[in-house]
Amino acid sequence: MNLKILIPLIAVATMLGWQAGAQTNVAPVILTNLIRAPDSLRDVNGQLYDINQGVLWKTMDGDFLKVSTNGIVLSTFTMEPIYEAATTTEYVPTGQWSRDKPVLVAKQIRVGDKKVPDKKIILLNYPANLYPAVGQTISFRAMRIGTSDY
């Protein structure tokens, strides 16, 4: 058989085989969880935001005051360090052939932190796995979408 006829016949037979394989009656399989949005995406008023990279998102700390089905009331706070005065002995060089001179130096030592209350906010669209409880303290990222009287 001539090679010019044989090559197109092989190509046609191969294409027919692929079509026959594609038309087999196989039950469709629904694949779930293959395409999944990152956990950092949030839907706010119909627009998607990345909470890790958006400049509108701020990191806050807060205590739950009231939990309801449509939102959580939080009292935000900041942490400020508490310092205490202390003295330490440092040695000042007095020369090449004499001993170093001891000197008392006053320093501030951080001994703890205190909560400084800030604004009260209403948190909407929080993750379902948050499971809020009154009195619980959390650190979170949020975006301001409006104001309300509370």
Instruction: Confirm whether 78 is domain-assigned.
Output: yes
Q: Environment class of residue 71 by beta-carbon count within 10 Å: exposed (0-12), middle (13-18) or buried (19+)?
A: middle
Per-residue pLDDT 10s for the chain (150 aa) are: 555 665 666 666 666 554 444 444 555 555 555 667 777 788 788 888 888 887 888 888 999 999 988 889 999 999 999 999 999 888 888 777 778 888 898 999 999 999 999 999 998 877 777 888 899 999 988 888 887 776
pTM passes above 0.75: no
Confirm whether 148 is domain-assigned.
no
For residue 124, being part of any structural domain is answered with yes
State which residues form the domain around 11: 3-143
Strands 41-44 and 101-123, sheet pairing? unpaired
149 inside domain: no
pLDDT at 76: 93
Does residue 150 lie within any of the structural domains? no
Torsion of the alpha carbons at 110, 114, 120 and 124, rounded to the nearest 10: 70
Please tell me the total count of domains within the chain.
1
